[in-house]
Amino acid sequence: MDWVDQAVFTSQASTHAQGYHLAAASADLTDEERRALTRWGPSHDSVPDPLRRTAIVSSFRLPSGRAAVARTFAHGAEYSRRGAIRWYTQFVVLDEPIFCRFAANPFAILTAAVAGGCLNVHDSLPPVLPAIRLLGKASPVDVAGIEYAAALVGPRFLLQVLEQLLAHNGPVILAGCERYQRIIAGILSLLPVSFRSGISFTTGLIPSAQRPFRIQPFHGPPIELERIKRERGATVVDFSRSPAELPAGAHPWTKFIAYVLGGSRWHLLKALFRREDLPKCDDSSGLQALGRLCLEEIVYSSGVPKIKHTADRLEVTAARHLTPDAAPQPAVPSPDEEPSELAPAVPSPSSSETGKTHGYPLGGDPLNPANRSSASEDSGGAASDPAALRLWSIAAEHAFLAWQEGPESFARFQAQWATLRSRLPGAIPDTVLGAAVRRFKDALACPPTAENDGTVRIRQFRELLSLLTEE
């Protein structure tokens, strides 16, 4: 069904209440939902001065499980005639199928409702509002919205907000900017629909214990910000300062999005979000697993099956590339070759091509030796063998990821290296080694983390280079 419920929270004298209250609602809203909307509804002291001329968008979940999307704006004066602004909040309450049809995008939902003439503004509200019919749908990836947000604050700030959302359960407070709606819209579009549907946010309401938004902009003084951080266990992203570096132990999904943003690889997100068999990721652990799969797909070709251990993965890759009767790899178009919309989904190879892979084909292979220096510059027998170059590139990528993810992953890589090395032909090619060294050095230039200080990182770097270059 296309029908959704609506309600209005505002200041009005009615037969059952005065002042700010839920003045009108659709008949199908339950008493529990009405009480929840009243708790989340903003009154006269809920809007900061800088936003008094703009509409504020909010989104949250009701106890019933349904989604609520709100639009708050100034509409005349309070009925008491004290000269105060009357804040008028319209709620749209949706069932999950309709919310997901609009890609859990509250901005698209309000746009559709306003364009359809569904959200009428009343000077004097009737007690019962009709249900409204919401037509249309939204794309899971809003490329224009992401690009606008990235141009506004920079990709590194988007990654910082994303990492705070995934690494912590508390509120993420945004400070030091003005166009929070654009930033939040861009962040939501970088998350799978199943995960973003659980993210509550407001683009401007003042922080309140009654409205525990996950994403909360802030416009007050620094001392008030420190109080909120302390009382609510919030983390802060301040856009007026320099963006923080992405930590080595960042969430896998953040790392994947960093790769997408780094090359405007929107086709990767579009292809992934269009998959009908995309697993549901409604918490950080589920998104962590999906992020790891995506990172692995960047490292390997789309035809390599998902194997649990690193050594087994490389063994499968080696067998496919180095045995005479290895199955041919399916051709994967590069992003530059793709037609309009930046990204039709890359077709999944058939089970006969991939050994019944259950992976997520995401596009071109960033480790393809064709993208590097000419193989003639390499030393040893591997220099003229594209398959060997590819295998060494994969091994170097695993070395970097193991080093980047921390001591446990590093130790596991060391334990598996003998098996990995037995599958690699000759010595490491010079171009692969040079690219690996440059990448390690770039990473070492980043500030060390609390879990892994600079001394440990340099020692691990030397040990990994020793492993890669041993005969």
Domain chopping of the chain, boundaries? 1-138, 139-244, 266-366, 368-471
Centre a 10 Å sphere on the Cβ of residue 152 and count the other Cβ atoms it contains.
17
CA 259-156-242 angle, 5° bins:
155
What integer pLDDT is reported at residue 231 of this predicted model? 86
**Residue positions counted in the chain:** 471
The arithmetic mean of pLDDT across residues 258-281, rounded, is 86
Domain 139-244: CATH architecture, name and number where available:
3-Layer(aba) Sandwich (3.40)
Helical spans, DSSP H, in 197-283: 222-232, 252-262, 266-273
φ, ψ of residue 260 to 5 degrees: the values are -65, -50
Q: What is the pLDDT of residues 86-102, one digit of tens each?
A: 889 999 999 999 999 99
CA distance 341 to 220: 41
Largest CA distance in the chain: 89
Q: What is the pLDDT of residues 308-360, one digit of tens each?
A: 344 444 444 444 443 333 333 333 333 333 322 222 232 333 333 333 333 33
What integer pLDDT is reported at residue 365 of this predicted model? 30
The token duo for 361 is 């084909």
**Residue 9 or 408, more confident:** 9
- Tracing tokens 């300062």 back to the chain, one arrives at 241
Mean residue pLDDT of the chain comes to 76
The token duo for 91 is 């709620």
Residue 224, pLDDT > 60, answer: yes
Q: What is the pLDDT of residues 429-461, one digit of tens each?
A: 888 787 777 777 666 655 444 444 556 667 777
